[in-house]
Chain A
């Protein structure tokens, strides 16, 4: 099954991460390599800060564009890993191994399969 490991952390934690960049980067390099070597990694991305986010809604004829994220929250979505593992326990194990799990939160969500739109990708 595929799981998204969604990484949430507060801005302060992010600044902290930047200041300790050496350590954190080393941690993420090792973590990504471990996933890659185990053959479990499908995709991974790190997002730019929510300061740079733009939100779009279409209501009737109007396209509404707003500066900022969908929701102003203390913790932001910083990025994600998409992994392919047998079950939730394995996904939780990898989520707990992520360096940021010690300060932020990793939300684990299974990926839906068998939806009509997904047939387009096959």
Chain B
């Protein structure tokens, strides 16, 4: 196993132990402390006696014993009645249960607690990366360009809120589970997007965040195998990510889809993503993630930008707009229709979005507008639109590229 593999295995064990303990203690900090003690104990015992046959089970049971010891040491007034009941049930029964692993429920419980709507969205993201993906606070703060103490403080506050406000580490009941799963998917996709189209910093793609999001998507898909949209989300991320190497030139400048070297697209990721998507669509429970994944799948099947099945893509965007009517989707539909039926038809779709002024500060709107104007032969207007796009973006790599397009369009 390589270093990255080892690190991943360690993180996987750590998050599993934390999940098992958190659900039983109702307290993430307590779970974290007990996990730390168990890993320290493992370092000593395994050195001496060798690695046990079920290392994960050993760690979880050891952590649980440490937690129980801690609860007994603490002043009785600090013990929650339901925790006392757990302890009273006796360690042996608990041990077997945990070593065998009610793992799916534990991990799902942790996911739902970290993504609870009672936490602010940026807190949900940080909690999920810390406790579900097992990243360190240093890694998360670096990825989100935040000072580490700020992030650490956010996590401490969130853990306290989970404990004191009574957020449970459980799968929500049938009346709210659909909405809550939707919320979890949104958190995972937000992590992916922050990696895929970095809004800050000087890198266009932050691969480590994409990798984490895909890993989270795989975990969620494993935990909720019958959920078509969760599979759709995973497929979407895999298919997006298959193009990562082609999206940037060696100097880090973004390469638009039309100019990408398609031989750089990762065929293994495309095959994996397409496989997940096909299985999801066979469940006949369509939704926006599956539709977005289908759009990219169509792109990946085309030998070139011109050869793309644009009418199909335009139709998928039309379908997507019915699920999720948003100006962002209209922009993409305008581009696809512009390719299928000509730039003037695309411009007509874009017109209401432009006049609404709703997305005036959204760089992709101006870039799409510029592209359509250029193809319609309106070079001067196109240059002005490229300039607006460059002004709107916060990503430096992207801004340089947009300025180049502006200059190419002539005019300025």
Contact between chains at A1 and B78 (CB < 8 Å): no
Choose from B116, B165, B172 the contact partner of A110 (Cβ within 8 Å).
B165
Size bracket, chain A contacts = 10 to 19
Interface SS of chain B: loop
B167: A residues at CB distance < 8 A: 87-89
B164: A residues at CB distance < 8 A: 110, 112
- Interface 0/1 of B135-174, CB less than 8 Å to A: 0000000000000000000000000000011111010110
Bound-state CA distance A25–B172 (Å) is 32
Contact between chains at B166 and A91 (CB < 8 Å): yes
Bound-state CA distance A87–B166 (Å) is 5
Known contacts A88-B118, A89-B172, A89-B176; A114 and B78 CB within 8 A of each other: yes
Any chain B CB within 8 A of the CB of A92? yes
Bound-state CA distance A92–B175 (Å) is 13
Q: How far is the CB of B337 from chain A (nearest CB, A)?
A: 40
Choose from B77, B78, B118, B170 the contact partner of A92 (Cβ within 8 Å).
B118
Contact between chains at A88 and B166 (CB < 8 Å): yes
Contact between chains at A87 and B168 (CB < 8 Å): yes
Residue of B nearest to A112 (CB): B164
B116: A residues at CB distance < 8 A: 88
A110: B residues at CB distance < 8 A: 164-166
Bound-state CA distance A108–B175 (Å) is 20
Chain A, range 97-122, C-beta contacts under 8 Å to B:
108-110, 112, 114
Contact between chains at B165 and A88 (CB < 8 Å): yes
- Which of A1, A93, A108, A109 has its CB near the most chain B CB atoms (within 10 A)? A1
A93: B residues at CB distance < 8 A: 175-176
Q: How far is the CB of A66 from chain B (nearest CB, A)?
A: 32
A86: B residues at CB distance < 8 A: 166, 168
Contact between chains at A1 and B166 (CB < 8 Å): yes
B175: A residues at CB distance < 8 A: 93
Q: How far is the CB of A112 from chain B (nearest CB, A)?
A: 8
Contact between chains at A89 and B78 (CB < 8 Å): no
Bound-state CA distance A61–B304 (Å) is 84
Bound-state CA distance A86–B77 (Å) is 19
B78: A residues at CB distance < 8 A: 114
Bound-state CA distance A110–B168 (Å) is 13
- Which of B116, B118, B166, B168 has its CB near the most chain A CB atoms (within 10 A)? B166
B172: A residues at CB distance < 8 A: 89
Bound-state CA distance A3–B172 (Å) is 19
Bound-state CA distance A1–B170 (Å) is 16
Bound-state CA distance A110–B77 (Å) is 17
Q: How far is the CB of B21 from chain A (nearest CB, A)?
A: 18
Residue of A nearest to B82 (CB): A86
A88: B residues at CB distance < 8 A: 116, 118, 165-168
Q: How far is the CB of B155 from chain A (nearest CB, A)?
A: 19
- Which of A3, A87, A108, A112 has its CB near the most chain B CB atoms (within 10 A)? A87
Q: How far is the CB of B188 from chain A (nearest CB, A)?
A: 21
Residue of B nearest to A2 (CB): B166
Contact between chains at B168 and A89 (CB < 8 Å): yes
Q: How far is the CB of B309 from chain A (nearest CB, A)?
A: 45
Q: How far is the CB of B366 from chain A (nearest CB, A)?
A: 38
Bound-state CA distance A108–B167 (Å) is 12
- Interface 0/1 of A27-55, CB less than 8 Å to B: 00000000000000000000000000000
- Which of B116, B164, B172, B175 has its CB near the most chain A CB atoms (within 10 A)? B164
Bound-state CA distance A93–B170 (Å) is 16
> Can you name 12 A-B pairs with beta carbons within 8 Å?
A86-B166, A87-B166, A88-B118, A88-B166, A89-B167, A89-B173, A89-B176, A93-B176, A108-B165, A109-B165, A110-B164, A112-B164
Extra contacts, 4 of them, besides A89-B173, A93-B176 (Cβ < 8 A), are A87-B167, A110-B165, A112-B164, A114-B78
- Chain A positions near chain B (C-beta within 8 angstroms): 1, 3, 86-89, 91-93, 108-110, 112, 114
